[in-house]
Structure 1
Amino acid sequence: MILVIISSLLIFTSITLSSSANPVKVTLMMQALEASQWKPFVEEFNYQYSDIELEIVEGPNATNQVEDLYTSSFLLGNSPYDLVFMDIIWVSKFAAAGWLRSLSDRLSKVDLAAFLEGDINGGMYQGELYRIPIRSDGGILYYRDDLLEKAGYKPPNTFEELINISNALQEKKLAEWGYLWTGKQYEGLSAMFMEVLNGYGAFWINPYTLEVGLDSPKAIEAVNFLRRTLDSKASPMGVTTYAEEEVRRLFQTGNAVFMRNWPYAFGLLSDSSSPVQGKFKIKPMVHASNYFSGSCLGGWGLGITKNSKHPDAAWEVIKFFSSEEVQRRFILATGYVPSRRSLFNDPEILTKFSYYPQLLNVIENSILRPPIPQYAQASDILQRYLSAAITEQLTPEVAMERAASETRYLLGKQKNNNY
C-alpha cells in the first residue's frame, strides 16, 4: 500500500514538473508598435500564469498588412495563432469565414454590461460574440476654443455653422484654415464619411437587408458638404491627400480652427511643446439640421481562432488583457481609449486625462461601419468614388451612382429606388 502511495506521488510530481517545464504556448500577432506597448503586460501575464506562455509575434505597423497576414494564415490552414488581435471592421469577415470561435458562452450579461455597448456590438456577427474589446476609439471634432471665444462664436453644431465660422475666422485672419479632415483615399476616408452620412440622415449599407444608400439625395448632400469645404476654401485642397497625421500636424501648428480626428491626437496636441496646448477642446461631430451626429467607432479586441488547440488558455489571455486593472494601467501608459465604461471616470485616469468624460459622451453616440463580410471590398469601392468626387474627377451624383451600383453588384442586390 505504501509503495502504491509513493508511486502515485512520484507520478503526480512528475506530471506537475512536466507541466511546469512545458507550459501551454499561446500566440497572437500585433502591429510592432502595439506589441512593444503590450510587452510589459505580456511579461506580467507570463509571470502570473506559469502554465501558459504568451508569445506576441510582431507584424507590420500597417493595419491592412496585418489583416492580410492573418487571412493568409487562415487560408493556408493550420494557422500558428491562437488569438487574433482584431480591428473592429475585421470581425464579420473572419467570423463569416469560420475562422473564429464564438465567445458568447464565456461572458454573462453582467460581464458584457461593463463594456461600451458599441464595442460589444462591434464584436458580434449573426447574434454571436467573436471579439472582446481591449480598447475603443471614435471620431471626434477638435476646435480652437480660444479663437472661437475671441471672435464671439460658440462651437458649431451643424455643417453650415462649421463652414460659416471657418470662413469668418479666416476673414478675420485668426487662422489660415478652417476645417481639416482626412481626405486621402484609404480607410480613414470611409470612416470620416460615415459620420457625415449619418449627420445628413443617410446611410451606406444596411447590414440586415443589404440595401445600399450611397446614391440617395441625402448621401449626395453629404458629398456636397465635403466639396463645399474645399470650394469655400475652409479646407485646403491638400486634405484630399491627408491621413490622420498630416491633419494632426497642420492643426498643431495653430493655423486651423477645426479638425476631425481620433482621440490619440489629444495627447500630442497637449504636449508642452505644442503651440495649441490648452487652446482646444473636443465635441461630437456636427450634423445637418434636424439630424444627429455619430462618431465612427473604431478600436481593437481579441478573438480566439477556430483551430486553436488551447482555447481555454487563450481565454485566460483575453480575460487578463480586458480586465479593468490591466486596461487602467495600459490606458495610463499609452493614452488609448478604454473599452470599459467605468474607466472613463476613473480618478487615476482623470488626473492624467481630464477630458475622458467628454470623450465618453462622444464614443457612446457611435456608429458602426457596415458589419458585413465584404466590408473591405465595399470600403475600397467607396474610397475610389468618393475620392473622385472630392477631387472633381466626377460629379458627386455620378460618383455616388457608380459607387452604389458597384456595391450592389458586390452584394448581389438589385437597385431599390425607395429611400
Structure 2
Amino acid sequence: MKAIPQFLKKLSKLFEQLHKPQFLGVVAGVQLVILLLLWFTWPKAPITLTFVVPAPESQHWSRLIQDFQAQNPDIQIQLVEGAYTTNEVEAIYTSALQTGSSIYDLIYLDIIWTPKFAAAGWLSNLSDHVSSNDLAPFLIDDIEAGRYQGALYRIPFRTDVGMLYYRKDLLQQIGELAPSTFAELVQVSQQLQQQQQVRWGYVWQGQQYEGLVAMFAEVLAGYGGFWINPEIGEVGLDQAPAIQAVEFLRDTLQLGISPAETTTYDEEESFEKFQQGEVAFLRNWPYIWPRVEAMKTLQGKVGIKPMVHAPGYRSAACKGGWGLGIARNAKHPEAAWRAIQFFTSAESQRRFVLQSGYLPTRRDLFIDPAIAQKYPHFPSLLQVLEHPVLRPSIPQYDQASQILQRHLSAALTGQSSAAATMQAAAKETRRLLAKSY
C-alpha cells in the first residue's frame, strides 16, 4: 500500500519536470498522440442520409433500409415520406436544392427530372463511379434517362410502364377478346354497358398533373404521333395524330364510356373505380397488380396488356421509373454512393420487387423464378419495356409538361376544341424551346 503514494509522488515530479521549457516539445507530442488515439478509438455518431420518396412506396423501403443499416452501422437512413404525386415530391427537392441546402445527400429522381436537375447543377456526376460492365445488366432506357450531356447522374432503382388492365371474366361472358384498337375498346365498353355488366367502360388519369401527360403520351403514340423530338426541338402537338388522340379521350367522356369525373382522377382515384367493380378497363401502372390480386372480388378476373392503338400502329407504353443520385453539395457523398450501390444491387431490387410489385431495372429479374412465379406477367412486360414511349429529355421539361397539361385539361373539360387546343399548345411549346434549338 505504501508503494502507491510513492508512485504518485514520483509521477507528480515527472510532470513537474516535463513542464519545464526544455520538455515542452515532448509534452506537445504526447498530447498529440493522445488526441489521435481518442479520434480513432472514440465511438462516432453514425452519418445520417436523408431522402424523399412518394408516399405509396414508402412502406416498402423499411426492410431495405434495415438491411442496409445492419451492414453499414456507421450510416443511418432517414426516409421522408413525400406526397402522392411526382410533382409534389419534386417540389420538396427543388425548394431545398435551389437554395443550396444540403439536407438531402441522396436524391430519389423521377425519370423525367435528370435534365432539369443536372442542368441546374444540383447533381454530382457519377460517371467515374461505374464502368460499362456495371451498367450492362440494367435496361438501356433507364440508364440513358440518367444521362445529361454525356454524363451519368442517376442510377436506376425501379422502372415503370403504363399498361391496360381489363376484366377478362366479363369479356369471356360476352365472347370477346381483349381489345387491341381504340375503336375496339369503345365498342366492347359500350357492349358491356348495354348488358349492364359494368357501369363504366374505361377509366384513366385525367387530372391536370404529370399523370395526365404520361397517359396522353401513350394515346398520342398509339395514333402515330409525337410530342417533342428532343434532338431537334420539333413539336408535333398540332399534327393530325395529336388531335385524334385528344378527340378519342373526349369521345370516351361524351359517350359515357368514362365518367365525367375522370378529368379529376389520378392513379389512385381511377384505381378505386376499378376495384369497386364498376369498370371494365383501366389505364394504370404495374404497381397496382398485387392490390388487384389481393382482392377476393377481382382475384383471377383481371388481365393486363399493352395499351390499345390505332390500326396500322403499335401499342405504346409510357416509360416511368425512379433512380438515385447524389446532391452536388452533399455532406457525405461517399456514404451516399455506398447507399446507391446497395439499393440498386440485384439482391435489393429483388427483395423490393417481391414485396411491392414494382418493376426492377435489371433485365434478369424479370425472369427470376421467384419473381415470375409471383408475377406471371413480368416476362411479357420486359418485351414492352424494350420499346417504350419516352417523354422528352430536355431541361425545360417542367414548363413543357405544364403547357401540355393546361391545354389538355381545357380540351377535355370542353373549354375549347381539340384542334384549337393542340394548335395553341404547339405554339406555346415552340416559343419555350426557341432559345435552345
Relative to the length of structure 1, the TM-score reads: 0.90
Identity in percent: 52
Matches within 5 A, 1:115-126: 115-126=138-149
Instruction: Give the match for residue 372 of structure 1.
Output: 394
CA distance in 2, matches of 1:293, 1:123: 25
Cα deviations across residues 268-309 of structure 1 (Å, max 9, x unaligned)?
Answer: 211143x22211111111111121222111111100111124
User: Do the aligned residues in 1 keep the contact of 2:287 with 2:356 (CA within 8 Å)?
Assistant: no
Measured against aligned partners, the alpha-carbon deviations of 1:100-150 in whole angstroms (never above 9, x if no partner) come to: 112222222222121122211221222222111111111000111122222
Q: How does 1:391-406 map to 2 (within 5 A)?
A: 391-406=413-428
Distance 2:215 2:238 in 1: 18
Which of 117, 135, 139 pairs up with 1:112?
Answer: 135
Query: Match for 2:319 among 292, 297, 310?
Result: 297
**2:299 aligns to what?**
277
Give CA-to-partner distance per residue, 1:354-391, whole Å, 9 cap, x none: 22223323333312211111111211111111111112
SS of 1:330's partner is: helix
**1:42 corresponding residue in structure 2:** 65
Picking from 178, 192, 208, the partner of 1:185 is 208
Contact 2:87–2:210 under 8 Å retained in 1: no
CA displacement, residues 27-83 of structure 1 (integer Å, 9 cap, x when unaligned): 323345544432232232222123434333444444323212211222211422211
Contact 1:95 1:125 in 2 (8 A): yes
CA–CA distance in structure 1, aligned partners of residues 308 and 341 of structure 2: 37
Which structure 1 segments of 5+ residues have no match?
A: 1-5
- Tell me the equivalent position of 1:3: none
1:286-343 residue CA offsets vs partner (Å, 9 max, x unmatched): 1111212221111111001111243222111001001111111112222222111111
The alignment covers a number of residue pairs equal to 408
State the Cα distance separating 1:413 from its structure 2 match.
6.2
SS at match of 2:229: coil
Equivalences for 1:82-161 in 2 at 5 Å?
A: 82-161=105-184
Aligned to 1:204: 227
Matched residue SS, 1:366: coil
Which of 332, 335, 348 in structure 1 is aligned with 2:370? 348
SS at 1:54 equivalent: strand
Q: Determine if contact 1:118/1:367 at 8 Å carries over to the other structure.
A: no
User: What is the RMSD computed on CA atoms of the aligned residues?
Assistant: 2.4
Counterpart in the other structure of 2:4: none
Letter aligned with residue 237 of structure 1? A
Cα distance in 2 for residues equivalent to 1:245 and 1:35: 15
Structure 2 partner of 1:229: 252
Structure of greater Rg? 2
Q: Distance in 1 between matches of 2:38 and 2:436?
A: 66
**Aligned positions of 1:57-68 closer than 5 A:** 57-68=80-91
> Partner of 2:323: helix, strand, or coil?
strand
For structure 2, the 5+ residue unaligned runs are: 1-29
Tell me the secondary structure at the aligned position of residue 50 of structure 2. strand
Counterpart position of 2:22: none
